[in-house]
Amino acid sequence: MKTGTTTSQPDERAQALVSAYERAGYRLVAPPILQPAEPFLDLSGEDIRKRMYLTADADGRELCLRPDLTIPVSCDYLASPQAGTPQGFCYLGPVYRDRGALPAEIFQAGIESFGRPDKAAADAEMLALGLEATAHYGIDQPEIRMGDVGLFAALVKALDLAPAWKRRLVKDFNRKTSLAHDLDLLTLSSNATKPEYQGVLAALESSDPKAAHALVTDLLSIAGISTVGGRTVGEIAERFLEQAALGAATTLPAETRTLIEKFLAVAGDPDEAAAELRALTSAAGIGLGAAIDLFESRTGFLAARGVDVGSIAFSTAFGRGLDYYTGCVFELHDPSTPPNGPLVAGGRYDELLTRLGAKAPIPAVGFAVWVERAGGGAP
């Protein structure tokens, strides 16, 4: 295993930061470093999946060194008696990702907040606490980058597209080249060449999505297929089923593609962006009132916490490359140093807990502090 140079232990400033989170009401937790690999393979972004360190136990179960702490903390919360109730946790510990010559062991501090129904206020609290973390390390005016996956998802939901295409566009939001490719495919003529197995795909597309997914997964398992190109059986099945939409006798009207591209071009501070979004969607006859209302409510809570809203660089196209984000996402960068990745990064991931086994949706939001970056150490 190539791990590069071993990092040092978190310094006293990192310990003090997490102690402040504990005083703010977040309980300190320390999930095991060795974790089941499946949740990370299924739910993390492609960049994390290809950098994971994988192994297996004596029974052949695939394990990994945790590449982040959001999924382990979420799993432990779901396994606790408090699952489903508002709970907040903080942590300080290493995560492991293959970064070539750089150290594979990366220390992170952070917070995960579960079950709060006041989403706008919870989002604002996470960003405000993230700003306190950068101030703790002497960076009083970090560059604030913000996006909102929920706004794009609301737009896609309002469009006249096949369900499989809607799922694919939202999933590919964090993969800009994939999203552009999706739009190209949707714009193609419906007379484009269809795969030989189009009839099978069409039949599966018309069936219950869960049943179709289970059928394809079972067939792959019977065939002895476990992974292909780093994708799990579940991912292979999902991708196969998505093909059912590609040959549908439907194309993306030019005006719809133009609307999507204009939507993804909206940028500015949150107040400017909200005004532009309302004007754009109103002119197109698209109702995104509830999503924009939540966005504006979050901005109000940020202002109430003393955050300079005018300094936030918001973009509807900004994402974080992790498949589980569903709402507000943000990164804090040091403007005085060369681009080196975020000091603090996080966002809302309301669907993750359901995908991990929760019987009902549980709101969730959090962030991580890259301790070495914030402290001026190794990247």
Q: What is the pLDDT of residues 14-62, one digit of tens each?
A: 999 999 999 999 999 999 999 999 999 888 877 788 899 999 999 889 9
pTM of the full structure = 0.82
Q: What is the mean pLDDT of residues 73-93?
A: 97
Q: How confident is the model at residue 199 (pLDDT cuts 50, 70, 90)?
A: low
Residue-averaged pLDDT of the chain: 85
Predicted confidence at residue 5, as pLDDT, reads 41
Alpha-carbon torsion (209, 210, 215, 217), positive or negative: positive
Question: How do residues 251-293 score in pLDDT, each as one tens digit?
Answer: 778 888 899 999 999 999 999 999 999 999 999 999 898 999 9
Average pLDDT estimate for 88-97: 97
pLDDT at 226: 60
Q: Domain 1-141+339-379 maps to which CATH number in 3.30.930.10, 3.40.640.10, 3.40.50.970, 3.30.1490.100? A: 3.30.930.10
CA–CA distance, 47 with 61 (Å, rounded to integer): 23
> Residue 124 pLDDT > 60, yes or no?
yes
How many angstroms separate the CA atoms of 11 and 8, rounded?
8
pLDDT tens figures, 144-159: 999 999 999 999 999 9
Band of pLDDT at residue 190, cut at 50, 70 and 90: very low
pLDDT more than 70, % of the chain: 80
366 DSSP β-pair partners: 112, 347
Written as six digits, the tokens of 97 are 């990702």
Is the pLDDT at 207 greater than 70, yes or no?
no
Banded pLDDT at 3 (limits 50, 70, 90): very low
Place of tokens 């136990």: 57
Residues 345 and 299 sit within 8 Å (Cβ to Cβ): no
pLDDT of the residue at 203:
53
> What is the C-alpha to C-alpha distance for residues 293 and 304, in angstroms, rounded to an integer?
17
CA-CA distances (angstroms) from residue 145 to 24, 127, 190, 290, 317?
Answer: 25, 11, 39, 23, 11
Helices 289-304 & 270-284 angle (0-180, nearest 10): 170
Q: Where exactly are the structural domains of the chain? A: 1-141+339-379, 143-161+254-333, 162-253
Percent of the chain whose pLDDT exceeds 90: 60
Burial of 365 (0-12, 13-18, 19+ CB in 10 A): buried
> Which of these ranges, 158-167, 194-203, 368-377, has the smallest mean pLDDT?
194-203
